[in-house]
Structure 1
Amino acid sequence: MEPIEINAGVWYLRALRADDRIDDRPALAAGEITDPDYVTLRSAGWAEETHFSWAVCEPTTAELVAEVGVTPTGDGAATVSGWAHPGYELALDAGLRSVRRFLTDGLGLTERIEAADLP
């Protein structure tokens, strides 16, 4: 599957990138994700339909401020996860809401809630 871009109100969700126009690796490193192959792995996840990830970005600069991911579990469900740079929790919340809608409406999956995720 090709990556899907999502408009989340004031936030813009797109695939992670590391090219001559946009390089998310510095923002990822600031979020303690330092694997040099991380963007490549996330791109492969889209192609293999094993993990879908989105950079939650400032719409004017395209700067990554959070990341949201969906991992299909193979039984019609998927887990949803995400993280944000400090101060961008609202961006993460907006991204999670939009991705959860896409999970159901676009992918036809339901969200699997893990016991550890329950209060």
Structure 2
Amino acid sequence: MEPIEINAGSWYLRALRADERIDDRPALADGGITDPDYVARRNAEWADETHFSWAVCIPTTAELIAEIGVQPTGDGTALVTGWARSGYEAALADGLESVRRFTAGALGLQPVDAS
């Protein structure tokens, strides 16, 4: 599956990127994610449908402020996780709501929040 963009009200959700136009790796490092292959792995997981991830972004700058992931579990449910950079917890909450709707409606899976 190709990555799907989602409009979450005040926030824009898109696939993670590390290219000449947008590089999410510095923002990911703020969240403790420093693996240089992280973005490539997340994009490959979209292709094989084992994990779906979104960068929650400020629409005017495309800056990553949170990340949301959905991992199908094989039993009709999907584990939904997320983290936000400091000060952007509201953006994460809004994004999670939209991703849960996408998970149920587009993927046909029951979203289950990580504890």
TM-score between the two structures when normalised by the length of structure 1: 0.94
1:76 Cα deviation after fit: 1.1
* SS of alignment partner, residue 69 of structure 1: strand
Alignment root-mean-square deviation, CA: 0.9
Task: Show the counterpart of 2:112.
Answer: 112
> Would the alpha carbon gap of residues 60 and 113 (structure 1) be closer, same or farther in structure 2, given more than 3 Å must change?
closer
How far does the alpha carbon of each residue in 1:76-100 deviate from its partner, in whole angstroms, 9 at most, with x for none?
1100000000100000001100000
1:112 Cα deviation after fit: 3.0
CA–CA distance in 1 between the matches of 2:51 and 2:74?
11
CA–CA distance in 2 between the matches of 1:111 and 1:17?
25
Stretches of structure 1 lacking an aligned partner (at least 5 in a row): none
Task: Show the counterpart of 1:57.
Answer: 57
- 1:23-38 equivalences under 5 Å are 23-38=23-38
Task: Show the counterpart of 1:103.
Answer: 103
* SS of alignment partner, residue 81 of structure 2: strand
* SS of alignment partner, residue 83 of structure 2: strand
Stretches of structure 2 lacking an aligned partner (at least 5 in a row): none
Q: Which amino acid aligns with 1:39?
A: V
> Would the alpha carbon gap of residues 31 and 108 (structure 1) be closer, same or farther in structure 2, given more than 3 Å must change?
same
1:113 Cα deviation after fit: 4.9
Of all paired residues, the percent bearing the same amino acid is: 72
Aligned length: 115
Does structure 1 residue 83 correspond to structure 2 residue 83?
A: yes
CA–CA distance in 2 between the matches of 1:76 and 1:3?
20
Does structure 1 residue 11 correspond to structure 2 residue 11?
A: yes
